[in-house]
Structure 1
Amino acid sequence: MTIQSIVQAGPKTITQLLDHFTEIKNLRVVRAIHAHLLITGVISFTPTLQTKIVFAYTTSHPPKSNLLLWTLTNSLRTLNLRNPLIFNSIISGFCERGYHSLAMQTFSFMHSNGVYIDSYALCSSITSASCTKNLEFGEKAHTFIEKSGWFSSVYVGCAMIDLYTKLQCISSAASLFDEIPIRNSVCANALLSGYTECKMWEKALALARRLPSLYLEMDHFTFSAVLRACIGISTVGLGMQVHGCAIRKIRYMESDVFLQSLLIEMYGKCGLLEKARQVFRMTARNRDLVLWTSMLGVLGRNGSYEQVIAVFTEMVTKGIKPDGVSFLTVISACSHTGQVNLGMEYFESMARDYGLEHSPEHYSCLIDLLCRAGELEKAWKFVEEFSSKGSRGFTVSMWGALLNACNDSGNVELGKFAAKKAIELNPHNDGIYVMLSNLYATNSMWSEIEEVREHIRGKGLKKDIGSSWIDVAT
């Protein structure tokens, strides 16, 4: 079909053709149709065509800022187009497709040109501000909402709270939560999420305790946030209460992988491995990799390394494909149990059997495995292999493992080199200085020890004192 035949068609046919050419991103034809409609004057009394033309321009791929503003300006001038529904469609379209800057520009255009702004436009543009972490736009939107009275909409209030929490403006989010006239569970969950993201565990738990008095229901997201707070402060008593409450409130909870994973983490963090195993075995979706990875992590952090290897073997036997995290855990377990050959086999199996790429963390774990077993030469070969691949992901722990092994073997030169590389990555890591000092002490290098201590004093470093705080169930 030629452009000439298209423009000679009636409004109904042109509308259908605009949909087609918009979908295939053919702006040349769209412009030709637009020109024809302007010349004939048909567009001035056909609102549907007005909408289609604006939508065609604003959904070009990728949309351009100057084209957007030109289209909107000309639409207002030539079409007197002030229908908020059209602008809402444009903003939501940009937001859904990830063109957040254009969504906010469209909102600003509406505001500047007197187009009516409703809750739909506000929520979509605030979502775009959240995704781009644009606090300046958020504060302007907040001012507009207060003046226009749109905080009477629970959706607008939720969107603003979510924006502030994503920007970690927690005090602003908390104040807004207390001020808005209408709240729902979504608002509360957004604030709870903000508290947990900022590790404000006590505030998260305090808000959760307020929910019944606010007549707000606790749902999956609420329990997830509260369990993260329980994990953060290792409070097993409250964690058990939350577990019991979730069983009563959440339907089919045993199928909720995320909640089950958090319960495993919570019991494991509090040292109750048997409770963690109980949750793991009872879940209805025990073929889910997330649950297996959580269980492996809990066992590893509690020093049950033989069980890590046993659970990993069971997972593979059941046909569940391990990921990089689960391999990291099991190689670390081999390191702590001295099973060098098995650890090497797991490392090689990653790429050979599962097509997984070795990360810096995997190399670091393997080097630690070899160093603990006294295989310093093999460990150094892997460092060279890692370097030969052009990798720049060397970690402090990788060099720290080498340094520690050098202390055991008395290899001062390699130890000094490893310490130098670790300090370059993190000059304030006091542990590296302590290990280097121990290396010198082992080899009776007292003047070098004094140099290290002077360096530590000069940087104002202090060795961290280990401590723990755990709530034990009675």
Structure 2
Amino acid sequence: MGIRLPDFILAKQILRQSALTAKKGASTSLDVPKGFLAVYVGETQRKRFLVPVSYLNQPLFQDLLSRAEEEFGFNHPMGGLTIPYTYALCSSLTASTSVKDARFGKQVQAHVTKSGWLSSVFVGSALIDLYAKLLLIHDAELMFDEIPVKNSVCANALLSGYCEAKLWAGGLELVRLMPALGLDYDHFTLSALLRACAGLSAAEFGRQVHAYMIRKCCNLGNDVFMQSSLIEMYGKCGLVTKALQVFNLAGHRLEGEINKDVVLWTSMLGVYGRNGYFKEVIKLYEAMLMNGTKPDEVAFVTVISACSHTGQVKLGIEYFEWMVHDYKLEPGPEHYSCLVDLLCRAGELDKAWKLINEMLDRGHGSSSVSMWGALLSACHDCGKFELGKLAAQKALELDPHNVGIYVMLSNLYAKFCMWDEIGQLRELMKEKGLKKDVGCSWIESKASGHKCSLITSSRMRCLVKDLAVKAVLIGSFPECLAKIMPALKLVNWLEIP
């Protein structure tokens, strides 16, 4: 790092007080040893002092840095605090990422573009990572296209951003482009790819990724992280049997035995839970205990939720008590949410209300929207208006823009024929700019995902009309029309005027 300091006479005096500086003296070498800073005094760069990084904490040097910042600042045209080295640039961008400072990142981008450091693949990767983690996906895409030298790290940084923003289709498209760019897949790429397949429910593409992993990843048998990603991918695609096959073969292999850790068990528990196999969740949990594996917080969330869906209130409460007393695990809001849902499904609304307040009084955590939402939904089903309205108020205090709570509250009003209140609620939603999200589905065709929503553009109308014309030409229109008549009345873009 090169730093130009003002008041160079005072600067020289202070720097000479450093014993290390006295030993090293001024340096004209281009190389700066690791752990040192090159400090330029005055306007010339022909002579500099080498200062250890630890010296930055000394008050005298801190005072000099403050004066330099006041006089030049990072926005100075010539760069009062110049950062011409790759390591320093990457460190600055990493710090910007941790504090979520996109403005500073854009300043660094402008600086490296003008100074030519954008050709560094490390700097480019750090910039893409910054924008991706801040979910500035368009900026990350532009940076990926702009950098002259790309590697798998750059692609993985952008891929991570796609996954965090749940732009699964963009992630798949990037992975398809990587071979054309001469970029190889690594474990991170495959893990993110499995996540994208799970998000799109792209089962066929997920199978292809699995086959590629078997061919290329020689150590897949001991990679618990990749194994759990495969299990979750198949589970989210609805292929429970396939997920179970992977689970049965997964684990650490030692002396001919397969040992599964808690990550694999919880992954399979989650697959059963998401697909409605609640009895299997409880059976698998008991098998995990018989195997000698200690359950973690995630396992208890799944098994208590399973008890909720199977109506086993007593067993669910027992699991919760075992978690606290036997396994000494601290229950979080998600555990209390499951317990509240358990009581609500059993019609024990007053107990659910009491449980939430006891949790808050004991300081075991903060209430969540899901807790109050579960109570609100149960109040709608059981016809408890006052308690439901109170639950809605508590939920909206936590998240005033939660559309789901407004919808459930509207349904509660409708059940009691409170039409004026429904109108007021709709006006409030309009004032806040809130509206229900339009439902959509993903259709997989030839390893490609296609998004279909209830309300689409005029482009979709043209496509449907074109299909209708082609159907007439091949003489199969009457049969096709008979099959899609129900949909014509429900889906806007299928109406052919």
TM over 0.5: yes
- Encode CA deviations 1:262-298: one digit per residue, 9 max, x unaligned: 2112111111001111111211335222222221111
1:46 match: secondary structure? helix
Q: TM-score, normalised by structure 1?
A: 0.73
CA distance in 2, matches of 1:182, 1:328: 45
Instruction: Find the partner of 1:250 among 217, 226, 233.
Output: 217
CA distance in 2, matches of 1:135, 1:463: 30
Q: Does 1:395 align with 2:374?
A: no
CA distance in 1, matches of 2:92, 2:279: 52
2:166 match: secondary structure? coil
CA distance in 2, matches of 1:74, 1:128: 27
Instruction: Find the partner of 1:146 among 99, 103, 113.
Output: 113
2:150 match: secondary structure? coil
Query: Which sections of structure 2, spanning at least 5 residues, go unmatched?
Result: 1-11, 28-34, 58-64, 253-258, 448-497
Instruction: Find the partner of 1:452 among 386, 410, 421.
Output: 421
Instruction: Find the partner of 1:311 among 254, 279, 284.
Output: 284
Q: Does 1:46 align with 2:23?
A: yes
How many residue pairs match? The answer is 408
Deviation of 1:473 (Å): 10
Show the counterpart of 1:163. 130
1:361-372 map, 5 Å = 361-372=334-345
CA distance in 1, matches of 2:280, 2:331: 24
State the AA in 2 paired with 1:359.
G
Show the counterpart of 2:95. 128
CA distance in 1, matches of 2:131, 2:411: 48
Deviation of 1:307 (Å): 0.8
Deviation of 1:114 (Å): 8.8
Deviation of 1:127 (Å): 2.6
2:218 match: secondary structure? coil
CA distance in 2, matches of 1:326, 1:304: 15
Q: Does 1:204 align with 2:177?
A: no
Instruction: Find the partner of 1:323 among 296, 302, 320.
Output: 296
Instruction: Find the partner of 1:360 among 318, 327, 333.
Output: 333
- Encode CA deviations 1:391-410: one digit per residue, 9 max, x unaligned: 67223332333334444544
Show the counterpart of 2:232. 265
| Structure 1 range deviating more: 356-365 or 260-269 | 356-365
- Encode CA deviations 1:226-266: one digit per residue, 9 max, x unaligned: 11211121111111111111222223012222222221121
Contact 2:413 2:419 in 1 (8 A): no
CA distance in 2, matches of 1:167, 1:363: 31
Contact 1:138 1:160 in 2 (8 A): yes
CA distance in 1, matches of 2:232, 2:55: 40
Deviation of 1:369 (Å): 0.9
Show the counterpart of 2:196. 229
CA distance in 2, matches of 1:263, 1:91: 49
Contact 1:268 1:276 in 2 (8 A): yes
Deviation of 1:305 (Å): 0.3
Instruction: Find the partner of 2:309 among 330, 336, 341.
Output: 336
Deviation of 1:414 (Å): 2.9
| Structure 1 range deviating more: 127-136 or 351-360 | 127-136
State the AA in 2 paired with 1:199.
K
Instruction: Find the partner of 1:287 among 218, 242, 260.
Output: 260
CA distance in 2, matches of 1:321, 1:346: 13
2:84 match: secondary structure? coil
Residues 239 and 386 (structure 1), Cα distance of their counterparts in 2 relative to 1, 3 Å cut:
same
Show the counterpart of 1:19. none
Residues 433 and 139 (structure 1), Cα distance of their counterparts in 2 relative to 1, 3 Å cut:
closer
State the AA in 2 paired with 1:317.
M
Deviation of 1:416 (Å): 3.6
- Encode CA deviations 1:47-74: one digit per residue, 9 max, x unaligned: 0799xxxxxxx99xxxxxxxx9xx9688
Query: Which sections of structure 1, spanning at least 5 residues, go unmatched?
Result: 1-33, 51-57, 60-67, 94-100
Q: Does 1:218 align with 2:185?
A: yes
Greater strand fraction, Structure 1 or Structure 2: 2
CA distance in 1, matches of 2:395, 2:275: 27
Contact 2:333 2:368 in 1 (8 A): yes
Q: TM-score, normalised by structure 2?
A: 0.70
1:370-381 map, 5 Å = 370-381=343-354
CA distance in 1, matches of 2:96, 2:401: 36
State the AA in 2 paired with 1:346.
Y
- Aligned-pair identity in percent equals 51
2:330 match: secondary structure? coil
CA distance in 1, matches of 2:43, 2:24: 13
CA distance in 2, matches of 1:251, 1:107: 52
Deviation of 1:153 (Å): 2.6
Deviation of 1:302 (Å): 0.4
Contact 1:82 1:115 in 2 (8 A): no
1:183 match: secondary structure? coil
Contact 2:73 2:81 in 1 (8 A): no
Residues 214 and 434 (structure 1), Cα distance of their counterparts in 2 relative to 1, 3 Å cut:
closer
Residues 428 and 279 (structure 1), Cα distance of their counterparts in 2 relative to 1, 3 Å cut:
same
Instruction: Find the partner of 1:187 among 154, 179, 184.
Output: 154
Greater helix fraction, Structure 1 or Structure 2: 1
